[in-house]
């Protein structure tokens, strides 16, 4: 089983990834945060998470694996209106 997470209470801490990984979180705008994950100083993943409107969130991850070609992943979550 594989699982990882980013804890953001006081900065950026990684859970479930190798010890040579580090992360940084930047607030781009009040509705947009960026996570940058590095492995031994090399950027491996940049994740942009944006609140598009009151119910829609978009997450785009640009991944540069240690082996293989770089790629991007995009996910959109829409919360049901109450």
**Does residue 68 have a pLDDT over 70?**
yes
Q: Is residue 4 part of a domain?
A: no
**Does residue 11 have a pLDDT over 90?**
no
Strand duo 71-78 + 56-63: pairing: antiparallel
Q: Is residue 8 part of a domain?
A: no
Q: Is residue 62 part of a domain?
A: yes
Q: How far apart are CA 20 and CA 29, in angstroms?
A: 29
Q: How many domains does the chain have?
A: 1
Nearest residue to 56 via CA among 78, 80, 74, 75? 78
Please answer whether residues 45 and 59 qualify as being in contact, where contact means their C-beta atoms are separated by less than 8 angstroms.
no
**Does residue 1 have a pLDDT over 50?**
no
Residue 17, CA distances (Å) to 14, 38, 41, 51 in order: 7, 11, 15, 26
pLDDT digits (tens, 9 = 90+) for 16-43: 888 898 889 999 999 999 999 999 999 9
pLDDT given at position 7: 65
First to last CA, the chain: 35
Q: Is residue 6 part of a domain?
A: no
Structural domain span for residue 47: 20-78
Mean pLDDT for 39-63 is: 94
Q: Is residue 10 part of a domain?
A: no
Please give the share of the chain, as a percent, with pLDDT higher than 70: 88
Q: Is residue 3 part of a domain?
A: no
């Amino acid at each position: 089983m594989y699982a990882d997470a980013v804890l953001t209470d006081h900065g950026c801490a990684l859970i479930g990834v190798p010890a040579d990984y580090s992360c940084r979180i930047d607030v781009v705008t009040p509705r947009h945060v960026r996570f940058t994950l590095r492995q031994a100083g090399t950027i491996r993943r940049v994740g942009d998470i944006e609140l598009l409107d009151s119910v829609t969130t978009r997450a785009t991850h640009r991944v540069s694996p240690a082996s293989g070609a770089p790629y991007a992943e995009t996910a959109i979550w829409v919360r049901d209106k109450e």
